[in-house]
A and B are shown apart, each in its own frame.
Chain A
Amino acid sequence: MPINYDDRIPNNVDLSSNKRLQRALETWQPAFLDWWRDVGPVGTALDEIYLRTAISTEPGGWAHFDHVKMPDYRWGIFLEDRDMNRVIPCGDHAGQPVWQEVPGEYRSNLRRIIVTQADTEPASVEQQRWLGKTAPSMYDMRNLFQVNVEEGRHLWAMVYLLHAHFGKDGRDEADELLARRSGDADKPRILDAFNQPCPDWLTFFCFTMFTDRDGKYQLGALAESGFDPLARTCRFMLTEEAHHLSVGELGVERVLRRSAQLTKLDKNGDARAQGGIDLPTVQKWINFWFAYSLDLFGSEISSNGAEFFATGLKGRWNEAKDYTDHKALDQYYTLPVVKNGMLVDERVPMRNAMNDVLRQSYILDCERVIKRWNKALEEEGVDFRVSLPSSRFFRRQGVYSEFDFNREGELIGSEAWEKNRDSWIPSQADRDYVASLMHPVTEPGKIANWIGAPRRGINGQDVDFEYVRKG
Chain B
Amino acid sequence: MSYPPVSFDTHPSRYRHWGLVIEGAVATLTMRVNEDGGMWPGYELKLNSYDLSVDIELADVVQRLRFEHPEVRVVVVTGEDKVFCAGANIRMLASASHAFKVNFCKFTNETRTYIEDACERSGQTWIAALNGTASGGGYELAEACKEIYLVDDGNSAVSLPEVPLLGVLPGTGGLTRLTDKRKVRRDIADVFCTKAEGFKARDAVKHHVVDGSFSRSKWAEGIKARVATVASAAPARPADARSITLPAVTPAVDGDTWTYRNVTVKLDRASRVASVDLRGPTERPVDAATADAGCWAFQFWRELDDALLRLRINELDIGLLLLRSNGDPALVLAHDASVAGDGWFATEVRGFQARVLRRLDNMAKTLFAIVEPGNCFAGSLAEMLFVVDRSYMLADDDGENAITLSSASTGTFPMHNGMTRLQARFPGDEDARLLAEAAAARKSVIDAETADDMGLVTFAPDAIDWDDEVRIAIEERCSLSPDALTGMEQNLRFGGPESMDNKIFGRLTAWQNWIFQRPNAVGERGALKMFGAPERAVFDYRRT
Contacts and interface: CB of A to CB of B under 8 A. Distances in A.
A107 B469 CA distance: 11
B465 A105 contact: no
5 contacts: A104-B473, A107-B472, A167-B461, A167-B468, A168-B461
A167 B469 contact: yes
Interface range, A side: 10 to 19
A167 B465 contact: yes
A104 B476 contact: yes
A104 B320 CA distance: 14
B479 A104 contact: yes
Given A103-B475, A105-B475, A105-B478, 12 more contacts: A19-B464, A101-B471, A104-B473, A104-B474, A104-B475, A104-B476, A104-B479, A107-B475, A107-B476, A108-B476, A167-B469, A168-B459
Interface in A331-390: none
A107 B480 CA distance: 12
Contacts, number: 36
A86 interface: no
Nearest to B479: A105
Task: Label chain B's interface by main secondary structure.
Answer: helix
A469 to B, nearest CB: 42
Interface in B458-497: 459, 461, 464-465, 468-469, 471-479
Contacts of B474: 104
A23 B466 CA distance: 14
A103 B471 CA distance: 9
Nearest to B480: A105
A23 B468 CA distance: 15
A388 B91 CA distance: 71
Interface in B370-410: none
A437 interface: no
Contacts of A103: 475
A296 B479 CA distance: 30
B464 A20 contact: yes
Contacts of A165: 468
Contacts of A167: 461, 465, 468-469, 472
A102 B473 CA distance: 11
B479 A101 contact: no
Contacts of B477: 104
B476 A20 contact: no
A167 B464 CA distance: 9
Interface in A227-250: none
A23 B475 contact: no
A396 to B, nearest CB: 34
A105 B468 contact: no
B464 A105 contact: no
A313 to B, nearest CB: 14
Contact of A23 (B459, B464, B471): B464
A316 B10 CA distance: 61
Contacts of A168: 459, 461, 465, 469
B472 A20 contact: no
A105 B469 contact: no
Contact of A101 (B459, B468, B469, B476): B468
A167 B459 CA distance: 12
B471 A104 contact: yes
Contacts of B464: 19-20, 23
A411 to B, nearest CB: 41
B472 A104 contact: yes
B126 to A, nearest CB: 48
A29 B503 CA distance: 54
Contacts of A20: 464-465
Nearest to B463: A19
Contacts of A108: 476
B2 to A, nearest CB: 27
Interface in A81-133: 101-105, 107-108
Nearest to A102: B472
Contacts of A105: 475-476, 478-479
Contacts of A107: 472, 475-476
A168 B464 CA distance: 10
A104 B475 CA distance: 4
Nearest to A19: B464
